[in-house]
Structure 1
Amino acid sequence: MLVLLAFIIVFHITSAALLFIATIDNAWWVGEEFFTDIWRVCHNNTNCTEIDDSFTGYATVQAVQATMILSTILCCIALFVFVLQLFRLKQGERFVLTSIIQLLSCLCVMIAASVYTNQREEIHNNNMFYQGTSNGNYGYSFILAWIAFAFTLISGIMYLILRKRK
């Protein structure tokens, strides 16, 4: 049981790390001469412009920013609640609260990645900050966001199924 518990904790910490990297790092949409994320646009690896309210798709980008931050916070809270419940719950009780919080984190990262996927063309084609960025590919931070979605979903389900045993 101790090995299973260690695996679950490592899996949850990995999910949180993936969420942090996907939220912070600058590689949601990349090309030869540029890279962008949900915070800024960089051309030639040096000329970076912060995304602000003068940006055409700012409301969409803010939605992605907010849901990614919320997802990361919820994932960290779920880990904290899991550790608390580990020592507070009686034998045989389920980690339902931890599961609910982790599944909410999963929902938030799914919303963020889905909104970015759906609105990416509008964001990159209709904005002066993104001139020349329509020809690119999804970067590793975007891919990590989807992997974090799968990890948080799996861990949320694991917490729901998990019972505290001797």
Structure 2
Amino acid sequence: MLVLLAFIIVFHITSAALLFIATIDNAWWVGEEFFADVWRVCVNNTNCTEIDASYKDYSTVQAVQATMILSTILCCIAFLIFVLQLFRLKQGERFVLTSIIQLMSCLCVMIAASIYTDRREDIHKNNAQLYSLTVDGRYGYSFILAWVAFAFTFISGLMYLILRKRK
């Protein structure tokens, strides 16, 4: 049982780390001359511009920012509640509250990545016009990590739902 508990804790911490990296790092959309995320756009690794209210599609970017931050916060809260429930729940009870919060985190990261996938072209047209760049590029590793974090938080949420406290 101790090995299972250690695996669950490591899995949850890995999920949180993936969410932090995907939220913070600047590699959601990369091209030959630029890389961009939901916070800023960098051209030639030197000219970085923050995305602010003057940005054309700012409300879409803001929705992605908010849901990624919320997902990261919910994942951390779920871990803290899991640790509290580990010592407070009676033997044989399930970690339902932890599971619900972790699945909400999963939903938030899915919403953020889905919005970005759907609106990516609109978001980066503004960049192309500002810097005389092509919109051509590819999804960066932060975007891929967001989808991996979605899978990890979903599996983690299901594990908590199924998990019972045993001796």
Moved more, 99-108 or 133-142: 133-142
Q: In the TM superposition, what is the alpha-carbon distance from 1:126 to its structure 2 partner?
A: 4.0
Does the Cα contact within 8 Å between 1:19 and 1:144 map onto a contact in 2? yes
Aligned to 1:60: 60
Q: In the TM superposition, what is the alpha-carbon distance from 1:122 to its structure 2 partner?
A: 0.9
- Alignment RMSD: 1.0
Q: What letter matches 2:56 in structure 1?
A: T
Does the Cα contact within 8 Å between 1:39 and 1:51 map onto a contact in 2? yes
Q: What letter matches 2:55 in structure 1?
A: F
Q: What letter matches 1:34 in structure 2?
A: F
Q: Which consecutive segments of 4 or more residues in structure 1 shift more than 3 A? A: 126-131
Does the Cα contact within 8 Å between 1:41 and 1:130 map onto a contact in 2? no
Instruction: Give 5+ residue unaligned stretches, structure 1.
Output: none
Provide TM-score, normalisation by structure 1. Answer: 0.98
Q: What letter matches 1:27 in structure 2?
A: A
2:45 equivalent to 1:40: no
Distance 1:121 1:37 in 2: 13
Aligned to 1:96: 96
Aligned to 1:157: 158
Distance 2:36 2:51 in 1: 10
Aligned to 2:116: 116
Report Cα offsets for 1:124-154 as digits up to 9, x if no partner.
1245446415110000000000000000000
Number of matched pairs: 166
Distance 1:91 1:39 in 2: 45
Matches within 5 A, 1:5-154: 5-127=5-127, 128-129=129-130, 131-154=132-155
Does the Cα contact within 8 Å between 1:74 and 1:101 map onto a contact in 2? yes
Does the Cα contact within 8 Å between 1:19 and 1:68 map onto a contact in 2? yes
Distance 1:24 1:133 in 2: 24
